């Protein structure tokens, strides 16, 4: 399952011609785009590129689509590598997803002893400086509900405290992009406020929260649902639960695993219809993504992968996916989801959740040159990673 070639930015200019542009602003045939130093410099249609096109590397994309790079807010590994196995494994996992169109990713960590998590977020902070595809970390544990733990080891689940919240923020040095919290944990609402005030995107998930508790979490500063519908109560006509609470709260976004297993594609289509511009497709991929079926380890628990479905060893509990985002795109289109809504959910919406939508997610001048060239069958032909994201202070 080797993916496409991946190009890193150079100071040279590059011109991509004769493609159909496909981003959150719509589709446009006969499109061209000029990049320099990992940034989109000019765009246009037809032959207007001639003004810029002499002496630059030119790629004729006749018959292909050009989309912004996909952004994955939530993955645990890929290509046989797990995020828990250290910097080299994380880089290899990110590289695997990159071959499938993901140019930027937030590195998710499953529940582990707090000391281990602090070491991991500190090492990801260094990695984010080194590899521009890595946007920072997502702590999925340890503040999760035991009865909704999924593949997270129950021994590592704890309540947030003022002290452990500060320890995490300090270790991450500004690179903790996201944290998933069960608002039912003791002192969870205070922790949600503290993380949100520190600029972290707080998600609620792995929770039994009802509608009112979910609304309280959003009021405290949470603004995302972790893998919507999975590891939380669904929508019941007498128990609306966290999904309806999120639908009712403007500014709250939804993660969604569109692999055909975690959520039925028709339910995915209805969620996207009910919450336009607010759904970000994620992989939640574990090590077997882009690799073979077999026995794997997720954090400290054993996982079996059979026909691409990952479950906790000896159970039917789903333990992440083997999805890549190009596959999610194809699945959504097959389910009849609007084409522009699908590409937005892979690009601009996750960028918006991270506050990076002025830099990532559109094919416009000034945006970073994260590009995916897709064949007419929507397989990934070539991937370009643009320059590093600028921090809020310098953007
Ligand atoms: Zn996860």
Average pLDDT over residues 379-385: 96
Residue 211 has pLDDT above 90, yes or no: yes
Angle (nearest 5°) at CA 194 between 126 and 189: 130
CA 353 / ligand 1 centre spacing (Å): 17
Separation of CA 385 and ligand 1 centre (Å): 24
**DSSP letter assigned to residue 360:** S
Residues 128-159: tens digit of each pLDDT: 999 999 999 999 999 999 999 988 889 999 99
- How many angstroms separate the alpha carbon of residue 139 from the centre of ligand 1? 9
Q: How many Cβ atoms are within 10 Å of 312's Cβ, its own excluded? A: 18
The sign one gets for the Cα dihedral 164, 166, 169, 173 is: negative
CA dist., res. 103 & res. 81, Å (int):
18
pLDDT band at 392 (very low <50, low <70, confident <90, very high): low
Per-residue pLDDT tens over the stretch 241-296: 999 999 999 999 999 999 999 999 999 999 999 999 999 999 999 988 988 899 99
- Asked whether the predicted pLDDT for residue 311 surpasses 50, the reply is yes
Q: Look at the block and give the residue holding tokens 């590598």.
A: 81
Residues pairing with 33 in the sheet: 16, 43
Q: Spell out the residues 6+ positions from residue 2 whose beta carbon is closer than 8 angstroms to its own.
A: 99
Q: Is 234 helix (H, G, I), strand (E, B) or coil?
A: coil
Centre of ligand 1 to C-alpha 319, Å, is 8
Q: How far is the CA of 47 from the centre of ligand 1 (A)?
A: 46
Are 151 and 319 in contact, with CB atoms under 8 Å apart? yes
Predicted local confidence at residue 395, as pLDDT: 41
Q: How far is the CA of 76 from the centre of ligand 1 (A)?
A: 6
Rounded CA separation 43/371 (Å):
13
The answer to whether 346 and 325 have CB atoms below 8 angstroms apart is yes
In this prediction the pTM is 0.96
Digit-coded pLDDT (tens) for 199-209: 999 999 999 99
pLDDT class of 1 with cuts at 50, 70, 90: very low
Report the DSSP pairing between strands 13-23 and 26-36: antiparallel
The confidence band for 394, taking pLDDT boundaries of 50, 70 and 90, is very low
* CA angle in degrees (0–180, nearest 5) for 381-382-388: 155
Among 284, 326, 357, 377, the one annotated catalytic: 284
Distance 100 CA to ligand 1 centre (A): 19
Cα→Cα distances 286→57, 338, 385, Å? 37, 28, 22
Other CB atoms closer than 10 Å to residue 198's CB: what's the count?
17
Q: Give the Cα separation of 74 and 106 in Å (integer).
A: 6
Alpha helices in 288-374 (DSSP H): 325-334, 339-346, 348-353
Instruction: Name beta bridge partners: 17.
Output: 60
Locate 243 and state its tokens: 């999904």
Q: How many residues does the chain have?
A: 395
Give the pLDDT confidence score for residue 164 in this predicted structure: 98
Mean pLDDT of the chain: 94
**Residue 293 falls in the annotated catalytic set:** no
Structure-model confidence comparison of residues 55 and 161, the more confident one: 161
User: What average pLDDT score do residues 81-93 get?
Assistant: 96
**109 C-alpha to ligand 1 centroid (Å):** 8
Gap from CA of 31 to ligand 1 centroid (Å): 37
Burial class (CB in 10 A: 0-12, 13-18, 19+), 320: buried
Nearest C-alpha neighbor of 372 from the set 67, 42, 32: 67
How much is the pLDDT for 2? 54
pLDDT digits (tens, 9 = 90+) for 173-199: 999 999 999 999 999 999 999 999 999
Tens of pLDDT, residues 54-68: 889 999 999 999 999
Among the listed residues 323, 310, 395, the one whose alpha carbon sits nearest the alpha carbon of residue 70:
323
Contact, 151 vs 202, CB < 8 A?
Answer: no
pLDDT-derived band at 5 (thresholds 50, 70, 90) equals: confident
* H-run or E-run covering 179: strand 176-181
Is pLDDT of 231 > 90?
yes
The pLDDT, as a whole number, for residue 168 is 98
């Amino acid at each position: 399952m080797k993916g496409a070639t991946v190009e890193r930015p150079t100071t040279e200019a590059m011109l991509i011609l004769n493609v159909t542009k496909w981003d959150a602003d719509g589709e446009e045939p006969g499109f061209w785009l000029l990049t320099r130093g990992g940034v989109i410099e000019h765009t246009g249609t037809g032959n207007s590129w001639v003004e810029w096109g002499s002496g630059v590397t030119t790629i004729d994309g006749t018959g292909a689509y050009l989309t912004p790079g996909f952004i994955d807010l939530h993955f645990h590994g890929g290509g046989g590598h797990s995020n828990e196995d250290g910097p080299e494994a994380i880089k290899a996992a990110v590289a695997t997803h990159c071959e499938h169109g993901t140019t930027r990713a937030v590195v998710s960590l499953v529940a582990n002893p707090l000391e281990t998590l602090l070491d991991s977020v500190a090492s990801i902070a260094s990695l984010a400086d080194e590899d521009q595809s890595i946007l920072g970390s997502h702590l999925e544990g340890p503040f999760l509900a035991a009865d909704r733990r999924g593949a997270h080891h129950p021994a590592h689940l704890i309540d947030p405290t003022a002290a452990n919240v500060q320890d995490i923020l300090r270790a991450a040095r500004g690179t903790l992009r996201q944290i998933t919290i069960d608002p039912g944990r003791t002192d969870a609402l205070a922790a949600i406020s503290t993380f949100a005030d520190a600029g972290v995107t707080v998600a609620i998930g792995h929770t039994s929260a009802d509608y009112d508790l979910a609304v309280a979490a959003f009021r405290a500063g949470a603004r995302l649902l972790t893998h919507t519908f999975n590891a939380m109560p669904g929508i019941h006509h007498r128990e609306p639960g966290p999904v309806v609470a999120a639908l009712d709260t403007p500014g709250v976004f939804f993660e969604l695993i569109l692999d055909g297993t975690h959520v039925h594609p028709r339910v995915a289509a209805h969620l996207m219809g009910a919450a336009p511009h607010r759904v970000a497709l994620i992989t939640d991929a574990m090590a077997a993504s882009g690799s073979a079926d077999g026995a794997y380890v997720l954090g400290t628990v054993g996982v079996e992968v059979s026909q691409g479905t990952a479950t906790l060893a000896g159970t039917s509990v789903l333990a992440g996916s083997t999805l890549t985002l190009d596959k999610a795109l194809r699945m959504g289109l097959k389910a009849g989801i609007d084409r522009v809504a699908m590409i937005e959910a892979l690009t601009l919406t996750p960028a918006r959740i991270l506050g990076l939508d002025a830099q990532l997610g559109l094919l416009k001048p000034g945006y970073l040159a994260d590009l995916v060239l897709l064949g007419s069958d929507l397989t990934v032909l070539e991937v370009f990673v643009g320059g590093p994201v600028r921090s809020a202070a310098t953007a």
